[in-house]
Amino acid sequence: MGRFRLTLMGGAALLVALILLSVLYGTTAIPLAEVFAAIPSGLGWTESEPTPMGRIIFDLRLPRALFSAIIGAGLGIVGVVLQTTTRNDLADPFLFGLSSGAAAGAVLVITVTGDVLGIWTLPLAAFCGGIVASAIVLMLVRRLRTSAPEKLILAGLAVSFLFAAITNYLIFAGDSRAAHSVIFWMLGGLGLSRWQTFPLVLAGLSMIFAYALYRRRWLDALLAGDVTAISLGVPAHRLRMMMFFVSALATATFVSVAGVIGFVGLMVPHLARGLVGPLHTHLLPTAALIGAILLTASDILSRLLLAPQELPVGVVTTSLGAFFVFALLLGKHARH
């Protein structure tokens, strides 16, 4: 049995175990027997109303575990796509203004407008903010009439600084009582995971995974550089723009629900390439699996480290990411 199949089987088993742990453990531990006892009423197999414990399991814990797996998988795939198309090993989903734009939209709702559209207000505002930021980056690159990776990165950084300034202004000028909610959201969290927004994140994952897998041969060609890719019939400019656009849409759906969760998209591609190599047929599903495992495990840690208080999951992933970058840089230095 090949390494790829072993990786998928072992990773899938680990992910299922982590999802179960995520349901069992939180601010209050739930015995496994109670979880199994709550399944019939929670799934509607009986006419009795779900118990309070059943509501905690099926309305709070289970969607949160599934959201962490789906968002982690999506961020991992977006990281692979962006690192390939920009030829930058440190590229991640939040390098191109997406997080700053989404943060500005969310902070506008939290500090100024309030929940005018109910539960969908915050996700919709964050999604629109991320899309606006992405559109500005694309317009800048189009105006420059180039898709060179370094220009794309510089445009993204410029837009990030612009929306970061807008966000800071809104925090300073808005309702100071909302500061805690703003900070928690900007650091990332899965507390807003609800079944109502589940189709949104599932659509984001399906979109980026399907399109990247469909264009996997073109992505493989980009690994050899634009000149080689073009000689093989790959439209490098159009591919780069389309990949960025689809990545922006997918990332905006994730950020709109979970806030800014950094470094997952940076770490996962390196870990996946170390296991199955750089070709995207195996790399994309492996990255999705590793991303799901990483974010689910990080979410469990975020609930246990300061229990009963919840730590923003972005704090955990950023801490792991910092050590990962140190190790990456030191490893490259040692090889040279």
pLDDT at 204: 92
What pLDDT is attached to residue 48?
66
Q: Mutual orientation of helices 149-173 and 62-86 as an angle, nearest 10°? A: 140
Residue ranges of the alpha helices (H) in 25-109? 32-42, 52-55, 62-86, 98-108
Report residue 44's pLDDT band, with 50, 70 and 90 as the boundaries.
low
Contact between 111 and 170 under an 8 Å Cβ cutoff? The reply is: yes
Alpha carbons 134 and 168: distance in angstroms, whole number: 19
Q: Is 47 exposed, middle or buried (0-12, 13-18, 19+ CB in 10 A)?
A: exposed
d(CA 4, CA 285): 10
Lowest-confidence pick of 7-21, 38-52, 77-91, 195-209 = 38-52
Q: Determine, yes or no, domain membership for 276.
A: yes
Does residue 37 lie within any of the structural domains? no
Helix (H) or strand (E) holding 284, with range, is helix 280-304
Tracing tokens 């949104």 back to the chain, one arrives at 200
> Is residue 41 in some structural domain?
no
Express each pLDDT in 261-273 by its tens digit.
888 999 999 999 9
Residue 52 falls within a domain, yes or no? no
The answer as to whether 23 is a domain residue is no
Tell me whether residue 307 is in a domain.
yes
Q: Decide: 96 and 156 in contact? Cβ < 8 Å.
A: yes
The answer to whether residue 258 is domain-embedded is yes
8 A C-beta contact, residue 264 and residue 291: yes
pLDDT for 60: 85
Check: CB of residue 239 under 8 Å from CB of residue 85: yes
CA distance 113 to 300: 32
State mean pLDDT over 105-114: 80
Domains held by the chain: number? 1
> Residue 8 belongs to a domain with what CATH number?
1.10.3470.10
More confident residue, 99 or 199: 199
Over range 167-176, report the average pLDDT. Answer: 77
How much is the CA Rg of the chain, to the nearest whole Å? 20
In the predicted structure, residue 36 carries a pLDDT above the cut 80: no
Which run of H or E residues covers position 298? Answer: helix 280-304
pLDDT score of 215 more than 60: yes
Beta-carbon contacts of 203 under 8 Å, excluding residues fewer than 6 positions away, are: 253
| pLDDT surpassing 60 at residue 333 | no
71 within domain boundaries: yes
Judge whether 82 and 265 are in contact, CB under 8 Å.
yes
The domain of 156 spans 3-18+63-335
pTM of structure? 0.89
